Structure 1
Amino acid sequence: MRALIFGDVHGNLVALEEMLQKERGEVDLLVSHGDVVNYGPWSNECVQLLDSIGCTCLRGNHEEAFLKGSYPGENAIVKAFFQHCYASFTEHDTIATYGDGVAVGDYKVQHTLNDRYIYPDTDIETLNLQQNAIIGHSHHQFSAETASGIKLFNTGSVGQNRKFINVINYIIYDTSSAELSLKALVYDVDVVIDKMKIDNYPSTCLNYYQQKKRL
């Protein structure tokens, strides 16, 4: 079985559709590990699309915030994104059905571990991993392995790459061969920014996207 495992779409329909167009016909299973919503201008549409194609969807911290109706953090930019995106969000019932984690082959897929942002330079020995895991949350794609041989993969972000804003990251996992591949695609992020301008995003949100590096 081949699985497409991804996450942190963050309302970016353009990036989501680009990835699905390339990979959907080549896989047997689709798994989103969370944060379909917020930031980008298409939170509703991304939720609806994944629901319509039978994707197994897990809940991230941004789904939690949308279900509660408030963002718990102190970051002013994230708060601005939340206030703008949440005002027009309607898919509460759908994201309420999202699970916490799912087993795929030899891996447990979930949004993150211990509510932490886990980066390429994180000492994964401190995570006390008990099984192979595939996560997201930090928007950085990487793989690591503990001294005892437990593997950790971060898919990176589909819709809001923190290194290069115009790059889509995800994973293809072949459970039969045990091969797990980190994937990347370049897309036109200006389409997203133009839609944000049409939707009257706050300038602080537009600046966040416009000032990011591109590949």
Structure 2
Amino acid sequence: MRLLIISDIHGNKEALDAVMAIGHDAVICLGDLVDYGPSPGACIDLLGEHKIPTIRGNHDNAVASGMECGCGYEYKHLSLATREYTVDILNGLQMDFLRKLPLNLERTENGKKLYFTHGSPLSFYDYIKPDTPEETIKEYIRDVDADFIFIGHSHLPFVRKVGGVTLVNPGSVGQPRDCDIRASCAVFDTETSHAELIRVEYDMEMVFEKIRKNMPHSEELISILKRGK
């Protein structure tokens, strides 16, 4: 089975449509459907209509609960401003969808234990990056019994083995931050246990048009998408 892993959509419906067109048998989303992008409601609706298992990200939690998102200083003002926009345009069913999202999911495929979460198994605020020290990662995953752990949050795609566990970050669908502007995702082959990182082009001009028409800090948001960082 080809399991499509997506994360950090951030209201970018055009990028979401592009990665969903990749051949797959099933999809799991690691969270952060909202903030930063112009179409959070449409992204929520697509995941709901297709009954895609979805994790709660820190931005999903902040929009649904009014709590702090835990963003870094560089993006905090954008997070706050776009959250007001997001809350204003989401309907009750969409907000309820965010409130009900779980913090993690577990499943077994072909004898391998798979664990899915947003930041780390300890908290959706924790960042696990390609260069995070191994000892730090071991502390984050110490209580998880899994062969593969799938995480998002950092917007940085990687596949990394720590001890007997393989960590997979599919990167960000809607707001990549690794200097590659294409939408990022991963496909996990449950038969071979191989994780492939995939990049996909999408209609960025359409997203820019929506941002300029509807969102605060529009040129700054567009600049982030243009440079992929």
TM-score (norm 1): 0.89
Code of the residue aligned with 2:227 in structure 1: it is K
Deviation per CA, 1:145-191: give whole Å up to 9, x if none: 12x23211111000000124631111111111212111111223221
Q: What SS class does the counterpart of residue 57 from structure 1 fall into?
A: coil
Following superposition, the deviation at residue 32 of structure 1 comes to 0.4
Judging changes above 3 Å, is the alpha-carbon distance between structure 1 residues 42 and 165 closer, same or farther for their aligned structure 2 residues?
farther
Q: Distance in 1 between matches of 2:34 and 2:60?
A: 7
- Determine the structure 2 residue equivalent to 1:78: 79
Matched, 1:124 2:134: yes
Judging changes above 3 Å, is the alpha-carbon distance between structure 1 residues 94 and 177 closer, same or farther for their aligned structure 2 residues?
same
| Contact 1:58–1:99, Cα closer than 8 Å, also in 2 | yes
When structure 1 is superposed on structure 2, of 41-50 and 80-89 the one drifting more is 80-89
Q: Distance in 2 between matches of 1:84 and 1:53?
A: 25
Judging changes above 3 Å, is the alpha-carbon distance between structure 1 residues 98 and 72 closer, same or farther for their aligned structure 2 residues?
closer
| Contact 1:144–1:153, Cα closer than 8 Å, also in 2 | yes
Q: Distance in 1 between matches of 2:4 and 2:187?
A: 5
Q: Distance in 2 between matches of 1:185 and 1:27?
A: 14
Deviation per CA, 1:88-141: give whole Å up to 9, x if none: 122111122222212243320111113311211111331223433110000000
Give the 5 Å matches for 1:154-193.
154-164=169-179, 166-193=181-208
Q: Distance in 2 between matches of 1:111 and 1:178?
A: 20
Q: What SS class does the counterpart of residue 54 from structure 1 fall into?
A: coil
**Runs of 5+ in structure 2 lacking a partner?**
none
- Determine the structure 2 residue equivalent to 1:93: 96
**Runs of 5+ in structure 1 lacking a partner?**
none
| Contact 1:71–1:79, Cα closer than 8 Å, also in 2 | no
Q: What SS class does the counterpart of residue 183 from structure 2 fall into?
A: strand
- Determine the structure 2 residue equivalent to 1:49: 46
Q: Distance in 1 between matches of 2:88 and 2:128?
A: 30
Code of the residue aligned with 1:168 in structure 2: it is A
- Determine the structure 2 residue equivalent to 1:109: 116
Following superposition, the deviation at residue 214 of structure 1 comes to 5.5
May I ask how many residue pairs the two structures share in their alignment? 209
Following superposition, the deviation at residue 197 of structure 1 comes to 1.0
| Contact 1:103–1:109, Cα closer than 8 Å, also in 2 | yes
Code of the residue aligned with 2:62 in structure 1: it is A
Q: What SS class does the counterpart of residue 87 from structure 1 fall into?
A: helix
Q: Distance in 1 between matches of 2:213 and 2:61?
A: 27
Judging changes above 3 Å, is the alpha-carbon distance between structure 1 residues 155 and 195 closer, same or farther for their aligned structure 2 residues?
same
Matched, 1:68 2:65: yes
Q: What SS class does the counterpart of residue 144 from structure 1 fall into?
A: strand
Following superposition, the deviation at residue 72 of structure 1 comes to 4.5
Matched, 1:11 2:18: no
Q: What SS class does the counterpart of residue 227 from structure 2 fall into?
A: coil
Q: What SS class does the counterpart of residue 164 from structure 2 fall into?
A: coil
- Determine the structure 1 residue equivalent to 2:34: 37
Code of the residue aligned with 1:28 in structure 2: it is D
Q: Distance in 1 between matches of 2:85 and 2:30?
A: 23
Judging changes above 3 Å, is the alpha-carbon distance between structure 1 residues 79 and 72 closer, same or farther for their aligned structure 2 residues?
same
- Identical columns (%): 29
TM-score (norm 2): 0.84
What root-mean-square deviation, in Å, do the aligned CA atoms of Structure 1 and Structure 2 show?
2.0
